[in-house]
Structure 1
Amino acid sequence: MHPIHRALALILAAALPAACSQSTPPAPAAPSVPAAQTQGQKELGLYRQLQQEKSYELAAPIGAEIVAKYPQSQAAKEVQETLADTTAKATALTTRRRLERLWSYQSGKESGGTQNTASIYSGDSTETRVRLVLRRHSAWGQSVYLFGSGKGFECGASCSIGLRFDEQLVQRMKAYLPETGEPALFISDDKAFLKRIGGAQKISIDVVEKGKGPRTLVFEVGGFDPDKFPPLKKG
């Protein structure tokens, strides 16, 4: 081989590996999304939806789970801005519904007349509970009374009982026993009582039961719905 040709061959041989090594490098992989931005996003969407629907009782536990399970996530950061308020609203709704379920309402015919009643039991043991009854009857008028069991209440023709609305001071109200002998105790000033019950959460009533002695009856009345205890239609 001619010396010049041999030199060119050597130069090409030396340049080939270099050319291969200078080929275009592979494209870098797309950067991964930080976990803090992706964790809890599905749950967060549900939390937002339930808040918009004002379903706070369902939203609160989902929000608490996001914060507990993904504490460093963006979802947890967002939830923490509203979770305290959502939990408070959920608690209020749960309490309200529990109190509403304590009341029983009835409307219909009774003893030849039309009657509407609203009643609630005292919050003690089942065997000794006393019922507070609000009644409107087309013939008997409006009444507020306690209905117990056994021998009823000590009172005589007339007596005075102590009542406390929420945490206010005890006030005295006149009461009387029914002439028909039922184990009941009627509160004389039914209008004043009904006026106060609408804004109360709890009513405590001091009574004396025959053969049992003094006792304080406690009624959680905060769920009372006056619309379900309407005045009777005239005529």
Structure 2
Amino acid sequence: MMRAPAALAVLCAATLLLAGCEHGPTAAQREAAAQAQAAAQRVAQAQQELKLYHEVLARHDVQLAASLGREIEQRYAGTPAASEVGKTLPAIAAEAAKLAHAQRLAALWDYQTDVPMEGGTQNTASINDTRSDGSQGNIQLILRRHSAWGQSVYLYAQAPGFVCNGLCRIELRVDGGKPQAWAAYLPPTGEPALFIKDDRRFISMLEKAQVIELRVDLKQGGVRTLKYEVGGFKPASFPPLAKKG
């Protein structure tokens, strides 16, 4: 029969052994497991974003796709999803930028159709000049078709308007090309406007241009070059007047 002190010693040893087995993973092991789980979740989230990226591309929404693609590359760098996005994003981003530029140019124009005006009705297309800092100026280039007055192209500024004696010449450049001399004149009614004499040729030129620059002399402000980003002009939004019949 085992004596009490010996039995107590065996019991203590067994207790210590059992306690050692129940210690579980070390702190380093737990941290590594947590990091692995977080990495797996990150990869899974990236795959979900990649799925959405492909869905948006299938809808041909390149602007949203470009935004999603950049987010995937930034938030999930190093994942398979980010690598896959990197294969298509440069082309998608370039297409999105081109579309955004076209939309910006189109938004510069304002169109009005069948507007009652003294003596009849008119259709107009107008755009403001673009300043050197990219902001919009306050001198309008206006295309007008009036039922009684016919077709006109003119600049419209705040009073007192432009300097032009009789039939004057203004300098015009198209898309940075060589300067051209165009005939212009002031309206006899005294508005702060400057009319381009050859309106038909001007509109034909404008439809193919991106930027038109006009060097004019203002009664307040002196000689200035007015820049018009006309590339977003839509001829269909400036229709001929409906014939009466």
Q: What is the TM-score with the length of structure 2 in the denominator?
A: 0.77
Going by fraction, where is helix more abundant, 1 or 2? Answer: 2
Q: After superposing the two structures, state which structure 1 stretch, 110-119 or 38-47, moved more.
A: 38-47
TM-aligned CA deviation for residue 73 of structure 1: 1.9
TM-aligned CA deviation for residue 189 of structure 1: 0.6
TM-aligned CA deviation for residue 110 of structure 1: 1.0
Looking at CA atoms only, which structure, 1 or 2, has the larger radius of gyration? 1
TM-aligned CA deviation for residue 128 of structure 1: 6.1
Alignment partners' CA distance in 2, 1:127 and 1:63: 32
- Determine the structure 1 residue equivalent to 2:141: 132
| Aligned partner of residue 159 in structure 2, secondary structure | coil
Alignment partners' CA distance in 2, 1:57 and 1:89: 8
Alignment partners' CA distance in 2, 1:44 and 1:37: 10
- Determine the structure 1 residue equivalent to 2:111: 105
- Determine the structure 2 residue equivalent to 1:41: 47
TM-aligned CA deviation for residue 151 of structure 1: 1.2
User: Is 1:226 matched with 2:235?
Assistant: yes
Does the CA contact (< 8 Å) of 1:39 and 1:75 recur in 2?
no
Q: What is the aligned-residue RMSD (CA, Å)?
A: 2.1
Letter in 1 for 2:124: T
Unaligned runs of 5+ in 2: 1-36
- Determine the structure 1 residue equivalent to 2:177: 168
Deviations 1:97-152 (A, max 9, x none): 12111111111221131210000111239896201000001111100000001211
- Determine the structure 1 residue equivalent to 2:16: none
From 110, 118, 129, give the equivalent of 1:122: 129
Alignment partners' CA distance in 2, 1:140 and 1:48: 54
Does the CA contact (< 8 Å) of 1:159 and 1:176 recur in 2?
yes
Alignment partners' CA distance in 2, 1:46 and 1:127: 37
User: Is 1:89 matched with 2:98?
Assistant: no
From 46, 55, 63, give the equivalent of 2:61: 55
Alignment partners' CA distance in 2, 1:93 and 1:56: 9
| Aligned partner of residue 102 in structure 2, secondary structure | helix
TM-aligned CA deviation for residue 156 of structure 1: 1.4
Letter in 2 for 1:233: A
TM-aligned CA deviation for residue 171 of structure 1: 0.9
Letter in 1 for 2:160: K
Does the CA contact (< 8 Å) of 1:39 and 1:73 recur in 2?
no
User: Is 1:73 matched with 2:82?
Assistant: no
Letter in 2 for 1:196: M
TM-aligned CA deviation for residue 211 of structure 1: 4.0
Percentage of pairs with the same residue? 47
TM-aligned CA deviation for residue 37 of structure 1: 6.2
Q: After superposing the two structures, state which structure 1 stretch, 133-142 or 122-131, moved more.
A: 122-131
Unaligned runs of 5+ in 1: 1-31
Alignment partners' CA distance in 1, 2:79 and 2:208: 44
Change (3 A) 1:220 1:128: closer
From 203, 208, 220, give the equivalent of 2:217: 208
Does the CA contact (< 8 Å) of 2:130 and 2:137 recur in 1?
no
Alignment partners' CA distance in 2, 1:207 and 1:99: 23
Residues matched between the structures, number: 203
